[in-house]
Chains A and B, each alone.
Chain A
């Protein structure tokens, strides 16, 4: 029997709370992406190293990040490290877990982008008298950045959605956490989750669209 009666008004009143949560979600996603990009560059370089003490850990990181559930990665940051006496707050554990995941995926994105640039570009730059680092900075990196840009924004969307896994480690200030809190107190499950879903959708769409506009302005070739 279908006995559930919608009560949108009650859910509607929670929108300010949900939007506060959305800000926290966005904050975690942005921070995890900034750190993820930084680690990914290091990982991408490390995986080209000749020393196994450098490339092996980097490879393990990338493999685990890409081939295990993100949920486990966040669990590990919270409960796993907790078993060793390292206690991360839900916020930090969530941030660490997503950063770990982002870095793994982005490292592969950057490596692929680097491979897509013909080696002759570097030779041409070096032939003009540029030192290696300058050739990389002026000729290789800008091209790599362009190739990696859209995959990187996809990862940003993915990071936003992954933050919702934080509820499983007790995160209660982000959009998913706030939603769950309201849910257990009001039992307006459908309405509140539907609203939250719409907010996730809008954020994700805004990021994708914004990235596309940005790309059009930045990459005119």
Chain B
């Protein structure tokens, strides 16, 4: 379970998160939508401790992420994150990209890590690209590799930050299909996204961010059929028109 309690976060004088409260249960899929600069990415990087927070608390399975005594390296093993920019490691092959952390962080043997990596890569449709360097892959393939890389650590939570936003339109579908499979498998996911169809069909709940505040959160059908907050209504009608 991820518990976000009254989290405030600033970059210098710029207040980016202004009292965020959100609890994500095991097995739940929550989509986060909202305008650019509303603090969605920042929230994700706070959850895995890449960014410090100013006040409030974030608990992952009861462990406070920003407590001084928390071993972040250990905590991050169970929180996967996939970024908008795929962040493939260009000096490693696809297989090496995926085996690196299982071997070096989890201490798996090479064959053990490769077995897991090959399974994950086959799952995202890259079973025939193991020996290829990421520079040779399309954006969609690189992003699917990044997803396999996160999943090879067997995380209990995966955070997705606009993973389709840097892709050509015709490549978006293949990545969304991968996410959908993962959701069907029961993975706990927080997905920052601009794909409204995905948010509606795949997620259990949808949250709307506006200027550092979570203006609205509701079960996905309700959220799209009867948005309550005027800013949500404005946002959705802008997208539909």
* Chain A residues engaging chain B, CB cutoff 8 angstroms: 118, 120-121, 123-131, 134, 138-139, 142-143, 146, 219-221
Which A residues lie within 8 Å of B48 (CB)? 127
Given A128-B149, A130-B104, A142:B85 Cβ within 8 A: no
Cα of A221 to Cα of B106 in the assembled complex, Å: 26
Cα of A120 to Cα of B149 in the assembled complex, Å: 15
By the criterion CB–CB under 8 Å, are B91 and A131 in contact? no
Taking a contact as CB atoms closer than 8 A, the residue among A123, A124, A128, A146 that contacts B91 in the complex is A146
Taking a contact as CB atoms closer than 8 A, the residue among A118, A130, A221 that contacts B105 in the complex is A130
Which B residues lie within 8 Å of A142 (CB)? 91
Which B residues lie within 8 Å of A121 (CB)? 87, 89
The closest CB in chain A to the CB of B146 belongs to A124
Cα of A129 to Cα of B105 in the assembled complex, Å: 6
Given A124-B83, A129-B153, A143:B73 Cβ within 8 A: no
Which B residues lie within 8 Å of A128 (CB)? 76, 100-101, 105, 149-150, 153
By the criterion CB–CB under 8 Å, are A129 and B133 in contact? no
Which A residues lie within 8 Å of B134 (CB)? 221
Which A residues lie within 8 Å of B226 (CB)? none
* Chain B residues engaging chain A, CB cutoff 8 angstroms: 45, 48, 50, 73-74, 76-77, 79-81, 83, 85, 87, 89-92, 100-101, 104-106, 133-135, 146, 149-150, 153
Which A residues lie within 8 Å of B74 (CB)? 129
By the criterion CB–CB under 8 Å, are A129 and B85 in contact? no
22 A-B residue pairs with CB within 8 Å: A120-B87, A123-B50, A124-B89, A125-B89, A126-B50, A126-B76, A127-B80, A127-B81, A128-B105, A128-B150, A128-B153, A129-B73, A129-B74, A129-B77, A129-B105, A130-B101, A134-B104, A134-B105, A138-B100, A143-B91, A146-B91, A221-B91
The closest CB in chain B to the CB of A220 belongs to B133
Interface centre among A118, A123, A146, by most chain B C-beta atoms within 10 angstroms, is: A123
Which A residues lie within 8 Å of B133 (CB)? 220-221
Counting residue pairs across A and B whose Cβ atoms lie within 8 Å, the total is 62
Which B residues lie within 8 Å of A143 (CB)? 90-91
The closest CB in chain A to the CB of B76 belongs to A129
By the criterion CB–CB under 8 Å, are B89 and A127 in contact? no
The closest CB in chain A to the CB of B51 belongs to A123
Q: How far is the CB of A129 from chain B (nearest CB, A)?
A: 4
- Contacts A125-B89, A128-B105, A130-B104 known; list 16 others, CB within 8 Å: A120-B83, A121-B89, A123-B45, A123-B83, A123-B87, A128-B76, A128-B100, A129-B105, A129-B106, A129-B153, A130-B105, A142-B91, A143-B90, A220-B133, A221-B91, A221-B133
The closest CB in chain A to the CB of B159 belongs to A127
Cα of A172 to Cα of B105 in the assembled complex, Å: 54
Interface centre among B73, B80, B100, by most chain A C-beta atoms within 10 angstroms, is: B73
Cα of A135 to Cα of B47 in the assembled complex, Å: 20
Which A residues lie within 8 Å of B89 (CB)? 121, 124-125, 139
Which B residues lie within 8 Å of A134 (CB)? 104-105
Q: How far is the CB of A118 from chain B (nearest CB, A)?
A: 8
The closest CB in chain B to the CB of A218 belongs to B91
Cα of A124 to Cα of B98 in the assembled complex, Å: 12
Q: How far is the CB of B134 from chain A (nearest CB, A)?
A: 8
Which B residues lie within 8 Å of A146 (CB)? 91
Cα of A124 to Cα of B134 in the assembled complex, Å: 15
Cα of A220 to Cα of B92 in the assembled complex, Å: 9
The closest CB in chain A to the CB of B45 belongs to A123
Which B residues lie within 8 Å of A219 (CB)? 91
Which A residues lie within 8 Å of B80 (CB)? 127
Which B residues lie within 8 Å of A126 (CB)? 50, 76
Q: How far is the CB of B43 from chain A (nearest CB, A)?
A: 15
By the criterion CB–CB under 8 Å, are A221 and B73 in contact? no
Q: What 9 A-B pairs are tightest by C-beta distance, nearest first?
A: A124-B87, A128-B101, A221-B133, A129-B105, A129-B76, A129-B77, A142-B91, A127-B81, A129-B73
